[in-house]
Chains A and B, each alone.
Chain A
Amino acid sequence: MSVGKIFKFHNDLDTDQIIASQYLLLPTIDEMKVHAFESLDPEFPVKVKPGDFVVGGENFGCGSSREQAPGVLKALGVQAVVAKSFARIFYRNAINIGLPVIVCRQLPDAVETGDEMDLSLTDGTATAGGETFSCTKLPPYMKKILSQGGLIASLNREEV
């Protein structure tokens, strides 16, 4: 992992904001990704660079189960989503497609959009503004899915 820029969003950020309903039936995630966060920051898909981070507050990714939400973030190259807490369907979907989702209670209040951050999944730490924050480690079961590149990749591996 390497240093990336932070894009920070509010508490109870719902998946409709990440990708609105009217784009969900487009044929591919790549066609959807240019509409990510359109209601909050229409320039987001242009500004975000591979390796950048999305940071949220409490209950990140609540609402609709649309897997297109973590899907467009991954397709835009977002390195990980770091939040105080996650809504369960978003959390599970992200792990299933191989997008790291990290619970960190302190970091979100200490950073702003544009700040740089460094994340170490192995140490379970995030560093921003010269301060290092500890993150909650993933349960081994989920860590294994993530490390294998997601649920379907792990299924294929079992069947080799």
Chain B
Amino acid sequence: MGMTIAEKIIALAAGADQVKAGDIHTVNLDRMMSNDGTTHLTVDMYHSKLNTPRVADPKKVVFIVDHNVPSDSPKTAAAQKKMRDFAKEHGIDFWEGEGVCHQVMMERYVCPGELIFGADSHTCTYGALGAFGTGVGCTDLLYGMVTGSSWVLVPETIKFNLTGSLPQGVYPRDLMLTIIGQIGAGGASYQVMEFCGDGAKTLSVEDRMVLCNLAVEAGAKTAIFEPDEIALKWLTDRGRRPKAVFKSDEDARYVKEYTFDLDKIVPVAARPDFVDDVVPAVQVCGVRIDEAFLGSCNNGRIDDLRVGAAVVKGRRISDHVRFLVVPASRQVYLQALEEGLIDTFMESGAIVMNPNCSVCWGSCQGVIGENEVLISTGTRNFKGRAGHPSSKVYLGSAATVAASAVKGEICTADML
């Protein structure tokens, strides 16, 4: 029986010829990533719970401070210091202020064929390059760091056949929210979402990151694209080489198959408080907003800033809206500066922040108050996700968010 890309990556990491869905295997981890959301607990456990504290291979571990940057309180500063000191002591790569962890990992580390554990649910982003990235908690991360290995239950794979190409004014984020709306928040639970088909070839690596990143919002263990010539060129341009380039076999087993015609996708929005409550954006037009957010590991890349800047150029942000623009990384920020996008945002009245998770995780910048409404390119719209439990978060594309910031109420870019 043939294997899927995900199964081949697990087989390679397990040293097995063949694996199949439902098997549990011990695997060698190629990389581990941990951020300031949980690393202070990992470090505490390292010191207090282990019989034999050690780091199997520090070169495989990356620590990234991205959630509360810069620190917002003495307690946060203490948690981050713990992380910084540990990284220094053990020779672990450490980044602070460089960007959102998944963006930094994609820019600097991830290679096709790798099996990567990240102590963050959106680690599934790495499938854009044909790697198997999956989110874990801090105990799993600690075990991996100490032993260099872990256990994996081989997941089933769902095939998403993409056809056509996205129309003008419609973005990968609209596509992925549409998919999640259709299959539901548990629609790919414990499974791999494999994207393929002619439509996949129309998507850049950055576009693929948008799709893979949100896979966890459908419950997926990870999402993956075949590392084709687009992905391999992207990798080579950054001076890296693949661990392995896998394709799914003709006779690989898929538990389910869906087809999505990209030509038929329209701008959509996810309504509070669930990511799978997705409707055409026109249905929520007119909802008054207090804040708009353009950023995050899902939608804070240069493409998204270009889209947002084109919308606000020559316009003013609404008087009653705070518009937060947060480039996903230092590289993205520098590129945006070079292209004059930051000037455009600043001239429009936007607040441009340093690269970090910002209000997407609701604990640092731009937290919203009682009954306030945010429209966001972030990853989630759960109850209270961006601040007060009574506040509301709508999710939309960079174009929809920027247009809404100008109008002061939710609208699509073509309605300005």
Where the two chains meet, the residues of A that have a C-beta atom closer than 8 Å to any C-beta of B are 12, 14, 16-17, 20-22, 24-29, 38-40, 58-59, 62-68, 70-71, 85, 87-89, 92-93, 96-97, 139, 141, 150-152, 155-156, 159-160
What string of 1s and 0s marks CB contacts (under 8 Å) between B363-395 and chain A? 100010000000000001011110001000000
**A1–B173 alpha-carbon span in the complex (Å):** 47
Partner-contacting stretch, out of B13-21, B46-54, B332-340: B46-54
Nearest chain B CB to A33 CB, angstrom units? 13
Partner-contacting stretch, out of B130-138, B285-293, B300-308: B130-138
The DSSP consensus for interface residues of chain B is loop
**A160–B24 alpha-carbon span in the complex (Å):** 24
Contacts of B221 in A (CB 8 A): 88
The residue of chain A having its C-beta at the shortest distance from the C-beta of B276 within the complex is A12
Contact indicator B36/A39 (Cβ below 8 Å): no
**Interface check B167, CB cutoff 8 A:** no
Contact among A21, A65, A156 with B362 in the assembled complex (CB-CB below 8 Å): A21
Contact indicator A93/B140 (Cβ below 8 Å): yes
Contact indicator A66/B37 (Cβ below 8 Å): yes
Contact indicator B186/A59 (Cβ below 8 Å): yes
Interface residues on B, range: 35 or more
Contacts of A59 in B (CB 8 A): 185-186, 189, 219
Where the two chains meet, the residues of B that have a C-beta atom closer than 8 Å to any C-beta of A are 24, 36-38, 40-41, 44-45, 49-52, 67-68, 75-76, 78-79, 119-121, 135-140, 142-143, 146-147, 151, 153, 185-186, 189-190, 216-217, 219, 221, 274, 276, 361-363, 367, 380, 382-385, 389
Max chain A Cβ within 10 angstroms of own Cβ: one of B76, B216, B219, B389: B219
Q: Assuming A25-B79, A155-B146, is B384 touching A20 (CB within 8 A)?
A: yes
Q: Assuming A64-B121, A65-B137, A152-B139, is B68 touching A25 (CB within 8 A)?
A: yes
**A133–B75 alpha-carbon span in the complex (Å):** 45
Contact indicator A65/B120 (Cβ below 8 Å): yes
Q: Assuming A39-B384, A141-B24, is B361 touching A85 (CB within 8 A)?
A: no
The residue of chain B having its C-beta at the shortest distance from the C-beta of A153 within the complex is B49
Contact indicator A88/B185 (Cβ below 8 Å): no
**A24–B383 alpha-carbon span in the complex (Å):** 17
7 contacts between A and B (CB under 8 A): A20-B362, A25-B79, A63-B216, A66-B37, A92-B136, A96-B139, A156-B51
Contact indicator A24/B382 (Cβ below 8 Å): no
The residue of chain A having its C-beta at the shortest distance from the C-beta of B138 within the complex is A67
Contact indicator B186/A85 (Cβ below 8 Å): yes
Contacts of A64 in B (CB 8 A): 37, 121, 380
Nearest chain A CB to B114 CB, angstrom units? 19
Contact indicator B219/A67 (Cβ below 8 Å): no
Contact among B136, B143, B217 with A65 in the assembled complex (CB-CB below 8 Å): B136
**A12–B140 alpha-carbon span in the complex (Å):** 23
12 new A-B pairs (CB below 8 Å) besides A22-B367, A39-B384, A62-B219?
Answer: A14-B382, A21-B362, A24-B38, A63-B380, A64-B37, A65-B136, A67-B41, A88-B189, A89-B135, A89-B136, A96-B143, A151-B139
Contact indicator A68/B146 (Cβ below 8 Å): no
Contact indicator A22/B186 (Cβ below 8 Å): no
Contact indicator A88/B190 (Cβ below 8 Å): yes
The residue of chain B having its C-beta at the shortest distance from the C-beta of A157 within the complex is B51
Contact indicator A22/B362 (Cβ below 8 Å): yes
Contacts of A25 in B (CB 8 A): 36-37, 40, 67-68, 75-76, 79, 363
Nearest chain B CB to A110 CB, angstrom units? 21
Contacts of A68 in B (CB 8 A): 38, 41
Contacts of A71 in B (CB 8 A): 41
Contact indicator A87/B140 (Cβ below 8 Å): no
Q: Assuming A92-B136, A155-B143, A159-B51, is B119 touching A65 (CB within 8 A)?
A: yes
**A66–B119 alpha-carbon span in the complex (Å):** 8
The residue of chain B having its C-beta at the shortest distance from the C-beta of A29 within the complex is B41
Nearest chain A CB to B228 CB, angstrom units? 28
Contact indicator B79/A27 (Cβ below 8 Å): yes
Contact indicator A88/B219 (Cβ below 8 Å): yes
Contact indicator B143/A39 (Cβ below 8 Å): no
The residue of chain B having its C-beta at the shortest distance from the C-beta of A12 within the complex is B185
Contacts of B76 in A (CB 8 A): 25
Contacts of B153 in A (CB 8 A): 139
Nearest chain A CB to B333 CB, angstrom units? 24
Contact indicator A63/B382 (Cβ below 8 Å): yes
Q: Assuming A14-B382, A59-B186, A141-B24, is B138 touching A39 (CB within 8 A)?
A: no
Nearest chain B CB to A59 CB, angstrom units? 4
Contact indicator B137/A66 (Cβ below 8 Å): yes
**A88–B185 alpha-carbon span in the complex (Å):** 12
Across the A-B interface, give the 8 residue pairs with the lowest CB-CB distance, nearest first. Answer: A67-B137, A93-B137, A59-B186, A21-B363, A39-B389, A96-B139, A65-B121, A65-B135
Q: Assuming A21-B361, A25-B36, A141-B151, is B137 touching A12 (CB within 8 A)?
A: no
**A39–B389 alpha-carbon span in the complex (Å):** 6
Contact indicator B140/A151 (Cβ below 8 Å): yes
Contact indicator A87/B143 (Cβ below 8 Å): no
Contact indicator B363/A22 (Cβ below 8 Å): yes
Nearest chain B CB to A69 CB, angstrom units? 9
The residue of chain A having its C-beta at the shortest distance from the C-beta of B71 within the complex is A25
Contacts of A24 in B (CB 8 A): 37-38, 363
Contacts of A21 in B (CB 8 A): 361-363, 385
